[in-house]
Structure 1
């Protein structure tokens, strides 16, 4: 029989229900026996001792809340009796030691990727079409309609409806019965086989609402982000559409590209509409040049590369009370394995590190990185408070409903995605990854803004854990969806790639799931497995304007 509840850390004074527990259930824990005062739903927590107002609540060994009223032993903690609380932190504490897990199984492991001139290796081969300002979004959409279908790329789900078959048959005099009998459904694989450029995985169109208006720093940040996408190992080249008068001038983008890659050699076509003879000529030239770029991009083929060339983004969204028990720790173990193999992993979402700052500071290899992380966290928190919304407002209604009742509780579980390895670098938003090992990247907790930032800093694969389900993807980095529970994996099987719910039910351990996940990541990186977000065309792209986004 699987466990009914779990104490995550020996210092915790609450237990997590792994299944629905009826009122009056007998709980035996650490030579103590008591009864539940009310029904406890799976994913929620109940106390193992009586608490007075002001008493601390601990989970994952961290302070996650304070009691606001008397709480009986065996009572469920809720937003009605607990409020958010988190520990203070400071730089200069004792550094944590780390022993890498056994990685001998993968010491010779490789993935088939696209080798770039700067030494990086892509897990995909995309051409980008990018507007420098929102005024160009319509022209980008015209290019999208002109290029995708004609070159054999689809934007549907698990199938494509080819109405051109009906049109051809109608023109050739087909009867009503013949039209009804026509097979007009094609799978993505059938479409792929007819691609004009088989080595180009996709043409991606990065529409956005920035580039002008707002403050000048918004446009500078946008250009830095776009430079990250252009120099990304999954990108073969890009077509840039500029209006001409906007704040996000091409010079800013050019400087940002040169800063990341001084020897930049990818094909890059820049067209300015205000210098063109007309919209028709402008779009015509953009399509023709993009076609020439695709010819060049198609010359690159997948070749073996060491696993150390992987840069894995660590993301979560639609979290539940099991996320920090199954999916996040499993991903964290896979992260530790990758770090042990000399690869790079990136933990983001700074509002969801509230309460675990001290642990991460102690894991920083240098005082400089510890100071930078603390400074970024304090600045983010103070800015949120200044507009009347601190980190304590981070949990969503879905999070709370499924057992994550405070931000510190959510954060303590979310941080498990980063495993236990040392922090080798701390990056502000849009800064590129430069060091192997675990990096911390400042992004919002907003799923799409965060995944957009992870790809912009160089992640060539992203793992995304979820307990409630979310369709989020990214235009250039394949996003692998991990479910925290079996029910979600079954209910939303169309968007879930990997299930860690068996950790909850006892069939697997964190270690076995982490090892299985690493094998899965390598297959995705090689193009052997296509994640659901890629297959379904989920290509979310939202640049962060550095405002308050939790």
Structure 2
């Protein structure tokens, strides 16, 4: 039977509309009947009992808000009658018992990855060009112009042909109205150019706005982040451009590289402009060394590796009211499968764990990790409140419009990405994952900043759920875009890879969907499937300055 509503947890006093509902409808769920007193749009929630002003509202079995007005049973919950609220949390008893899922069908499976000398396995093979300071961004742009197209890594140029069509219309004397009414033609189909180095997936340029002008802590964090990319399993080697006088010194970067990979032996070329002299000399040397590095990187070949060598980042962006009941729990099950197979997963976005801290704290194997998680969460929230914000201000207008009307509702659903396995480590930005299992990483809820950080910490594939649609990608790690609803999947097929709307439609269970996603991840990790973000060249990279970013 296909339901119109869903009550996520037996203790909840709200239900989710799975389709648009109308005032006067009588709905049945688990032998209980509900009379709607208002219209309830799909993805939004209604009260299942009368809720006087000041009542606690529970969803996913946790407190997600308190009413600020009387809400009758069957009435829509909105930002006008419900405000964010959560219970306090503390470092309690460890609750790490875990019923592992059956993984027998994957135990003998492998993926074809790039084997590095430190024992890590990459799902791709990139060369990096990295500036230590924003002053070098222009030099990166010059190198990018010289290398990318010539080496066969150019992007789809169909929009250039459309721009030329518009130019011809203007020359022909078309009016503004005529131009706007013209259907632009796509000339031909996109063909992948012939690469000079077929075993190198690309040359990526990580421009940023940091390295100087901020605090020394900002510079240290940036160097840690860049070191995470340089030592990443998906990276064959790197060219680093430094000005010389900035806060983010070469020695600082080398220190951070040693922290992550003490015996780092991949090609690494560091060029300092104030030592070399002219721009011409610097860029010529950078070109020669980068080309030499690419020749060496091209010698790498894919070879079988155990599934336990995968490290998956768990991310969401443009979430909606279905994210927490379809896409997020689906990748949560994928996470549990990978952990049971000995792999690693990363759950980040600390502002979106607000309200579920007690559950995650109790799942920490070590008490020290539970205490660190508590300290990081409270410090982060206090910083936000000090500048007039707070975790309660995290939901975006798009989140609210599509049913996530408090941060606690958003967070309770977002945390489902982490599945049910114990927490093996709590990491601060931008520390590296060193343990198999579920790792918590302190990052903002901003999807690009968080994805950037997860990859720096070691994620070789990122699972990214979305209910509204977002093109977010990463320069070196494939970002698998997962729709929470079929309408989005059909509407934005060019940027979405997987549909989990089957869960709310009742045609597939969360477990079946999670298994399907794991199979897709293995294909992506082996280079057999190209995700949309990679195909479009969606290379989003934003370092987090440890100020307030939700």
Q: TM-score range by the shorter chain?
A: over 0.9
- Does structure 1 retain, via aligned residues, the 8 Å contact 2:94–2:365? no
Q: Does 1:363 align with 2:368?
A: no
Match of 1:172 in 2: none
Per-residue CA deviation, residues 433-464 of structure 1 (Å, 9 max, x unaligned), is 00000000000000100000000101000000
Distance in 2, matches of 1:34 and 1:292, equals 69
Q: 1:445 to 1:188 in 2, by over 3 A?
A: farther
**Cα distance, 1:160 vs structure 2:** 9.0
- Does structure 2 retain, via aligned residues, the 8 Å contact 1:160–1:186? no
Distance in 2, matches of 1:397 and 1:544, equals 22
Q: Does 1:58 align with 2:58?
A: yes
Distance in 1, matches of 2:102 and 2:74, equals 40
Distance in 1, matches of 2:157 and 2:59, equals 40
SS at structure 2 position matched to 1:106: coil
Per-residue CA deviation, residues 39-66 of structure 1 (Å, 9 max, x unaligned), is 1100000011001111000000010000
Match of 1:328 in 2: 328
Per-residue CA deviation, residues 491-532 of structure 1 (Å, 9 max, x unaligned), is 000000000001111110000000000000000000100000
Per-residue CA deviation, residues 49-108 of structure 1 (Å, 9 max, x unaligned), is 001111000000010000001000100000010000011111023414101100000000
Match of 2:251 in 1: 251
- The equivalences for 1:275-424 within 5 A come to 275-424=275-424
Distance in 2, matches of 1:52 and 1:357, equals 27
- Does structure 2 retain, via aligned residues, the 8 Å contact 1:156–1:537? no
- The equivalences for 1:143-542 within 5 A come to 143-156=143-156, 185=188, 187-189=190-192, 191=193, 194-542=194-542
SS at structure 2 position matched to 1:155: coil
**Cα distance, 1:228 vs structure 2:** 0.3
SS at structure 2 position matched to 1:332: helix
SS at structure 1 position matched to 2:64: strand
Per-residue CA deviation, residues 357-401 of structure 1 (Å, 9 max, x unaligned), is 000011110101111111100111111111110100000000000
**Cα distance, 1:277 vs structure 2:** 3.5
Match of 1:131 in 2: 131
**Cα distance, 1:154 vs structure 2:** 1.7
**Cα distance, 1:2 vs structure 2:** 2.0
- Does structure 2 retain, via aligned residues, the 8 Å contact 1:154–1:160? no
- Does structure 2 retain, via aligned residues, the 8 Å contact 1:125–1:202? yes
SS at structure 2 position matched to 1:204: strand
Q: 1:162 to 1:395 in 2, by over 3 A?
A: closer
Per-residue CA deviation, residues 180-205 of structure 1 (Å, 9 max, x unaligned), is xxx9856343x1xx111000001000
**Cα distance, 1:30 vs structure 2:** 4.4
Distance in 1, matches of 2:210 and 2:457, equals 19
Distance in 2, matches of 1:151 and 1:50, equals 66
**Cα distance, 1:3 vs structure 2:** 1.1
Distance in 2, matches of 1:28 and 1:464, equals 33
SS at structure 2 position matched to 1:113: strand
Distance in 2, matches of 1:218 and 1:184, equals 46
- Residue ranges of structure 2 left out of the alignment (5+ in a row): 164-185
- Does structure 1 retain, via aligned residues, the 8 Å contact 2:17–2:44? yes
TM-score by length of 2: 0.94
SS at structure 1 position matched to 2:151: coil
SS at structure 2 position matched to 1:104: coil
Distance in 2, matches of 1:293 and 1:162, equals 37
Distance in 2, matches of 1:205 and 1:361, equals 38
Match of 1:41 in 2: 41
Distance in 1, matches of 2:295 and 2:33, equals 71
**Cα distance, 1:157 vs structure 2:** 7.3
Distance in 1, matches of 2:211 and 2:346, equals 27
- Does structure 2 retain, via aligned residues, the 8 Å contact 1:157–1:536? no
SS at structure 2 position matched to 1:34: strand
Q: 1:152 to 1:368 in 2, by over 3 A?
A: same
Match of 1:10 in 2: 10
Distance in 1, matches of 2:509 and 2:30, equals 22
Distance in 1, matches of 2:363 and 2:35, equals 40
Q: 1:356 to 1:140 in 2, by over 3 A?
A: same
Distance in 2, matches of 1:205 and 1:241, equals 11
Distance in 1, matches of 2:156 and 2:466, equals 23
- Does structure 2 retain, via aligned residues, the 8 Å contact 1:160–1:187? no
SS at structure 2 position matched to 1:409: helix
Q: 1:305 to 1:160 in 2, by over 3 A?
A: farther
- Residue ranges of structure 1 left out of the alignment (5+ in a row): 164-182
Distance in 2, matches of 1:206 and 1:429, equals 18
- Does structure 1 retain, via aligned residues, the 8 Å contact 2:5–2:29? no
Match of 1:85 in 2: 85
Per-residue CA deviation, residues 280-328 of structure 1 (Å, 9 max, x unaligned), is 1211110111000000000000000000000000000000000000000
Distance in 2, matches of 1:67 and 1:476, equals 45
**Superposition CA RMSD, Å:** 1.5
- Does structure 2 retain, via aligned residues, the 8 Å contact 1:53–1:70? yes
**Cα distance, 1:274 vs structure 2:** 1.1
- Does structure 1 retain, via aligned residues, the 8 Å contact 2:473–2:533? yes
- Does structure 1 retain, via aligned residues, the 8 Å contact 2:494–2:532? yes
Match of 1:170 in 2: none
Distance in 1, matches of 2:278 and 2:54, equals 69
Distance in 2, matches of 1:186 and 1:63, equals 52
Q: 1:450 to 1:269 in 2, by over 3 A?
A: same
**Cα distance, 1:253 vs structure 2:** 0.2
Distance in 2, matches of 1:157 and 1:357, equals 47
Distance in 2, matches of 1:159 and 1:302, equals 34
Distance in 2, matches of 1:89 and 1:24, equals 40
Structure 1 residue runs of 4+, over 4 Å off? Answer: 157-163, 183-186
SS at structure 1 position matched to 2:477: coil
- Does structure 1 retain, via aligned residues, the 8 Å contact 2:486–2:499? yes
